[in-house]
Structure 1
Amino acid sequence: MSAGKGYTMNSTNQVQDQKVWLITGSSRGLGRALAEAVLECGDRLIATARDPAHLADLVERFGKRVRVIALDVTDEQAAQAAIAQATDAFGRLDVLVNNAGFGHISPIEDTTMDEFRAQIETNLFGVISVTKAALPLFREQRSGHIIQISSVGGRIGPSGRGPYAAAKWGVEGFSEVLAREVGPLGVKVTLIEPGGFRTDFAGASTAIRKGRSEYETTVGATARFQEEYDGKQPGDPKKAAAAILHVASLAEPPLRLLLGSDAFQAIEKSDLLKTTRDREWKELSCSTDFPV
């Protein structure tokens, strides 16, 4: 079934049972919008954040259908404890959403190795850590859906976002391998690739360093665009949450789903260009084979 405009409609490809979710980074942005949508539709949720105080209102509104816990995704033991709390509270886990992450703007030359490690640790190794914590449970259940919040930056390398893109490209490759390994076990994997959404990701959550004058037309251009774009992004977080809920309801969800017209247009253009360039260099590429 194509999602299209009919994502709110029932389908023979949908599973109507109530689900148990765990969402990392639930306190703001897409994670917060999704957490609210999950609870509003009647499902149950383990909502996680570095500071669970930011999630207290969810407990007030939704009571025992939500459990709020502190989770630093870079802490392997904490990730395992979060999965255990899901089963302790609700008896199972159906959907894991790896949403926690952040990204700054800076030239690669001016980005320290500590800054590289911090972004890659959260955006890539955090995803791997929480995913691995859930895999034994999903394998034993012979069911489960792992939803990775990636980015168009996981398929296009934007100037100024070296560490973020490196991590997201890693998430893409990791998840594609994961899907091949766990698919036969009844476990689904979906990469969500958003474009620009009106969250604080492009605002307060992003540190911007334009760098020296030599990077004015590259990193500087990205920084200016980000500053002007904040608050004007085409993406609606509530509609993104609805789309993710729809994907989670499908018996055969896509491996990748772009979110936003800007994301679709950018990736379509980029993929066509890559195919064209590959064909231009086909003769040299194939010249490296042994003679037949």
Structure 2
Amino acid sequence: MQKTWIITGSARGLGRAILTAVLESGDNVLATARNPAQLDDLKALYGDRLEAFALDVTDEDRAHTAAKAAIAAFGQIDVLVNNAGYGHFEAFEQKSSADFRAEMETNLFGVINMTRAVLPSMRERRAGHILNVSSVGGRVGTPGLSAYQAAKWAVGGFTEVLRGEVAPLGIRIVSLEPGGMRTDWADIAGNAAASTVLPDYADTVGATRARIRAYAGNEVGDPARIAQVIRALARRDDVPAHLVLGTDALASFDAAEAERREAHARWLGVSRATVFDGPESEALGALLPG
């Protein structure tokens, strides 16, 4: 059955790969980009099945207009892919409040704006898929990515909460968490920040920046394969709350989970000793001044 998609950030990178896979499958797409002229070549190939739409996802009113445009063009919205996003590698102390807020606006509130725009239609039809392209950075902490990963962690939490609210309405939602992909993301993220890393952060943020720049072009994640996974998920009812994508992402996730389990076990006595009538704990006493 032919579906109608909205895909944000579709001009390049993973968004472009998703858009191409969906169009090749025969579905309809309203594809958003800040500069929709970048989609002219695909429009020439796929004609009326592709509507290019100018959108900055931080503009809530424009997000609602995009949803209305998709319904006007194709009659309904079956799938929303929240893909638009970016990140810059900078030490938090060196990152301006304006830059931090701007990343949060795009990476978190862009997801919120688009989701709010499509939900009424999906709820009315009792059907729909919302696929949030997050990152394994929504499960781990990487020096230099404070704003980006704060937003991605929030996207994961938002996904889980909304999933519980809309599941009885036939709406499926998943947080997709890839690792490095062979797109231009690493080049942009690593080079966009003009600031020089302070010497005190050379071994943390500086090392991350150098590692990401060296990794650019050698990432293990294949955008085309990830796009095929996303296309298939939109035809399944049993989607997971979180889906980690890529062997590098799995390694990072597993290491972070092991560290959390270790800390949980080490501090378990303190956790249990903080309730009324809880068990006495030497661990709690050891934390308090004598």
Shorter-normalised TM-score: what interval? Answer: over 0.9
Deviations 1:213-271 (A, max 9, x none): 11011000001001101101011110110111121121211111111110011111211
Query: Whole-Å Cα distance in 2 between the matches of residues 110 and 59 of structure 1?
Result: 42
Q: Unmatched 5+ residue regions in structure 2?
A: 279-290
Query: Whole-Å Cα distance in 1 between the matches of residues 149 and 32 of structure 2?
Result: 24
Match of 1:6 in 2: none
Are 1:129 and 2:113 matched, yes or no? yes
The 1:126/1:38 distance shift into structure 2, 3 A limit, reads same
In structure 2, give the amino acid aligned to 1:21: W
Are 1:178 and 2:162 matched, yes or no? yes
Match of 1:256 in 2: 242
* Identity over aligned pairs, percent: 48
Deviation at 1:204, TM superposition (A): 3.1
SS at match of 1:218: helix
Query: Whole-Å Cα distance in 2 between the matches of residues 161 and 232 of structure 1?
Result: 20
Query: Whole-Å Cα distance in 1 between the matches of residues 263 and 116 of structure 2?
Result: 37
8 Å Cα contact 1:107-1:210 kept in structure 2: no
Q: Unmatched 5+ residue regions in structure 1?
A: 1-16
8 Å Cα contact 2:156-2:242 kept in structure 1: no
SS at match of 2:21: helix
In structure 1, give the amino acid aligned to 2:50: V
Ranges of 4+ aligned residues in structure 1 off by more than 2 Å: none
State the structure with more CA Rg. 2
Match of 1:75 in 2: 59
| TM-score scaled by length of structure 2 | 0.93
The CA RMSD measured in Å over matched residues stands at: 1.0
Which residue of the other structure, out of 259, 262, 268, is the alignment partner of 1:276? 262
Match of 2:230 in 1: 244
| TM-score scaled by length of structure 1 | 0.92
Q: Which structure has greater helix proportion?
A: 2
Are 1:22 and 2:6 matched, yes or no? yes
Query: Whole-Å Cα distance in 2 between the matches of residues 61 and 205 of structure 1?
Result: 31
Aligned pairs, number: 276
Deviation at 1:141, TM superposition (A): 0.8
Output aligned runs, 1:151-190, within 5 Å: 151-190=135-174
Output aligned runs, 1:1-292, within 5 Å: 17-204=1-188, 206=190, 207-208=192-193, 209-291=195-277
Query: Whole-Å Cα distance in 2 between the matches of residues 234 and 269 of structure 1?
Result: 18
Q: 1 or 2 for the larger relative contact order (CA 8 Å, sep ≥6)? A: 1
